[in-house]
Structure 1
Amino acid sequence: MSLTDTKIPEARTAAHDREQSWSRAAFALTTVGWGANQFAPMVVLYRERLGISASAAEAVFGLYAAGLVPGLLIAGPLSDRVGRRPVVLFAVLLSMVSGGVLMLGSHGLAWLSVGRVLMGIASGSAFSAGSAWVKELSTAPGAGARRASIGMTIGFGLGPLVAGLLAQWGPAAFETPYLPQLVLAALALALVTRTPETVPRRRSRILTADLLRLRGFSDRRFVGVVLPMAPWVFGAATIAMIYVPGLAASHVKSISLAFAGAAAVTTAMAGVVIQPFARRIAIAETDRDGGRPWLLILGLGLTIGGMLAEAAVASLGRLGVWQAVLALAVAVVVGFGYGVLLVFGLAEVQRLAPPEDLAAMTAVFQAFTYLGFAAPYLLSALKGVASPSMLLLGVTALGALTLAVTLRNARATAQIS
């Protein structure tokens, strides 16, 4: 046997180990996603037991974006320089610090606000660097975007479900719901340290003005199609997770916290279930000119239909407990739209981005998706202007406008993307 013959199996083993390592990076995404969304049912807890107003509680929920956007925009390009592993390790550690701060939330809004901002920074760091890491560790064609989005979404769904159940029936309702994420994060730290690095560290200076340069804005399709769609990913999802359940919670007072968790997990898990189907459409569209992006049409179509249904649910308070049941049913439709749009956005970024800018462009896309976290707060702040159902009809009309604009831009950029 020659030396070459012995190296071939070794190379195959290394490639196999690398392919299997994507699940460790994806678990880190799940852990941070869990921490990001476990706060959803806690909004109801703080409203009911601390007397915090709906708009204040939803504003604290949205403060997450204040930390997340800079975390995304800095951590993505930083991981292109120093590597994915150190950035993801930092994110998981910071998510644990955030959980500890949030456990002090019963002592005042300041603790909740700081905890949510820290969780935003952790999430931004993990989602930008981690999504790129999963993609680079995935050798199967087109699997990276699906695996990254499923990893995040599983955390988004299970986090609020477990937190809601513990807050409803567990001891120490203000502290216990945050403990499972701390355990998962400790496990994620051990796994991430054993995950192969995919980016060689650059010899050049790390902290330069170029680090803060936003990538992707010179690409017409990215600016005209991907970014206008992006806020709908979490804008519609948080309406189904936070805003509409808040309207119906009074009809299920005895299980309001569990109901809030169920609404969040229903939305998130619907997004997971639809993603393999969405990924098949995304792969089929790679060979087309992009002038008629069916995945975008499907995602925004489901979102528009979901918002229209949410408007109907919001007007049916007289149905009592059945309003809560209908809210869960409509959350499935909204979740489908969320999952499809997330896959579309990540697939477009991976198709458009140069390899050296992948994490940075992913960060810009995700920063725009998280602008949608402001939706529940904005709707609550406008309660004196119009009824919830009328506000949601306005959201529906805005969704239809977004679909029209992005389709026009998709046709205009089809030949140059």
Structure 2
Amino acid sequence: MLLDRTDRPRGAYRTAPAVVSTAFAFLVVMMGTTLPTPLYSLYSARLGFSSLTVTVLFAVYALGVVAALTVFGRLSDDVGRRPVLLLAVLLAIVSALLFLLPPSLPLLIVARVVSGLGAGLMSGTGTAAVIDLFAPENKGAAGTLAVAVNTGGLAVGTLLAGVVADLASAPLVVPFAVHLGLSLTAFAGLWAFSPRAAVAGRARLRPRPLRVPAEIHGAFVRAVLAAGSAFAVTGVLTAVSAIFLARFLDLPSHALAGGVVFLAFAGMAIGQLVARRLAPRTALVAGCGGLVVAAALLATALAAQSLAALLAAAAVLGVFGGLCMNAGIATTVEQVAPAHRAEVSSSFFAGLYVMLAFPAIGVGALSAVLGLRASGLVFCAVVALLAASVGLIEMRSEARAGAAGSLLR
């Protein structure tokens, strides 16, 4: 559905400060969610965590994201983008402060949940807010920017923490102190430049269930399963890469652990640029095919204990996961009216984060029985099968749509 310029939310405007402040806040909030990633081995050594504990600690963040998306995913459609964006950054500030306290398992869980709540609010509302700031004919560029700052923040967070952990004398303090400063800057930028009346209408603070318009149901399910497959692999990679490198490859470098995850998220940002040159359905099919290859490479890395295969898996996962995410945004969020964008965007990301959390927990639980490598191999097989199935379904759907178009002509 093409949207007329009059369909844009009242008060939305496209100025450089508004776009930059919104995108920067989006990036900073998402950056905070991956700061602990290369530090899990340090927390594990200091507090005696098992692999299952680490994966659960990772996953509670994703469950916080899902909670925020499902309960408050429509909030910015009711009260406007600005207050929800400010709340998301405020939660990132609180999370950074919690991580600066002496670590314990309960405190880390609370900090991760708070971080997840902020990321959940930002994922849905930030995507809608960025798209609102662009003209209808530039929705593709807006969607690309939204996903790029999302995945870019995830990439920067893990790389920063990994490098700092190897260089700083206080690796569990400095990354979060830096993030606190960036979050305060992001809050000030939003306060000064974000649109104050992005959505017209009466404010309703009560949470309401998310809904997806019937006309995009099929596209929505395929988009969530495709991009969710990429998130599932990324979640497992994020949760266990530092432990795998240290225990099985005898490579305890935190910068390397952060670099592996950085490759995946940076690849997703690159995948956005590639996807802009392709039709969304073509990008989704190609993305699913690439995810099968990424799962095979990850299985090779686990079976052969190969660093090269692990790095290749991260890079391939990122690029083709980026194709799936961009296609998912294009076929869902960009196809609905502004009054429903945050709701559909929140529904989309809620699906992705469910698929991020539960496989990571499953691998952690299974590793207690089979070991980390064997449980990872089982996971890779399941993801490859899911991605291949979604790709085939999308190809058949595209073929049917083409046939119907030919008959109409």
TM-score by length of 2: 0.87
- The yes-or-no answer on 1:381 pairing with 2:365 is yes
Tell me what 1:365 maps to: 348
- The yes-or-no answer on 1:101 pairing with 2:84 is no
Partner SS, residue 276 of structure 2:
helix
Query: Are 1:45 and 1:167, in contact at CA under 8 Å, matched by a contact in 2?
Result: no
Query: Which deviates more, 163-172 or 90-99?
Result: 163-172
Tell me what 1:126 maps to: 122
Q: 1:266 aligns with which of 258, 263, 288?
A: 263
- The C-alpha deviation readout for 1:322-364, integer Å capped at 9, x for no partner, is x224312221101112211111111112343222101110000
Query: Are 2:275 and 2:283, in contact at CA under 8 Å, matched by a contact in 1?
Result: yes
Query: Which deviates more, 381-390 or 268-277?
Result: 381-390
Q: How many residues align?
A: 387
Q: 1:159 aligns with which of 157, 160, 166?
A: 157
In the aligned structure 1, how far is the partner of 2:391 from the partner of 2:53? Answer: 31
Tell me what 2:57 maps to: 60
Tell me what 2:382 maps to: 394
Q: 1:309 aligns with which of 297, 301, 309?
A: 297
List gaps (5 residues or longer) in structure 1: 1-13, 286-292, 318-322
Tell me what 2:5 maps to: none
- The C-alpha deviation readout for 1:296-336, integer Å capped at 9, x for no partner, is 1111111110001110110113xxxxx22431222110111
Shift of residue 154, structure 1, vs aligned partner: 1.5
Over the residues paired in the alignment, what is the CA RMSD in angstroms? 2.5
Query: Which deviates more, 41-50 or 123-132?
Result: 41-50
Shift of residue 58, structure 1, vs aligned partner: 1.1
- The yes-or-no answer on 1:82 pairing with 2:79 is yes
Partner SS, residue 112 of structure 1:
helix
Shift of residue 99, structure 1, vs aligned partner: 1.4
Tell me what 1:338 maps to: 321
In the aligned structure 2, how far is the partner of 1:401 from the partner of 1:17? Answer: 40
Q: 2:33 aligns with which of 7, 32, 36?
A: 36
Pairs within 5 Å for 1:138-149: 138-139=134-135, 140-149=138-147
Query: Which deviates more, 384-393 or 27-36?
Result: 384-393
In the aligned structure 2, how far is the partner of 1:232 from the partner of 1:217? Answer: 23
Tell me what 1:184 maps to: 182
List gaps (5 residues or longer) in structure 2: 1-10
Query: Are 1:96 and 1:185, in contact at CA under 8 Å, matched by a contact in 2?
Result: yes
- The C-alpha deviation readout for 1:177-202, integer Å capped at 9, x for no partner, is 21111111111011111224275555
In the aligned structure 1, how far is the partner of 2:360 from the partner of 2:231? Answer: 10
Partner SS, residue 249 of structure 1:
helix
- The yes-or-no answer on 1:296 pairing with 2:279 is no
In the aligned structure 2, how far is the partner of 1:259 from the partner of 1:248? Answer: 8
Partner SS, residue 49 of structure 2:
coil
Q: 1:256 to 1:133 in 2, by over 3 A?
A: same
Query: Are 2:242 and 2:254, in contact at CA under 8 Å, matched by a contact in 1?
Result: no
For CA contacts below 8 A with separation 6 or more, give which structure has more relative contact order: 2
Tell me what 2:195 maps to: 197
- The yes-or-no answer on 1:69 pairing with 2:57 is no
Partner SS, residue 171 of structure 1:
coil
Q: 1:392 to 1:160 in 2, by over 3 A?
A: same
Q: 2:132 aligns with which of 130, 136, 143?
A: 136
Query: Are 2:38 and 2:162, in contact at CA under 8 Å, matched by a contact in 1?
Result: yes
In the aligned structure 2, how far is the partner of 1:353 from the partner of 1:105? Answer: 46
Tell me what 1:3 maps to: none
In the aligned structure 2, how far is the partner of 1:227 from the partner of 1:389? Answer: 23
TM-score by length of 1: 0.85
Q: 1:331 to 1:276 in 2, by over 3 A?
A: same
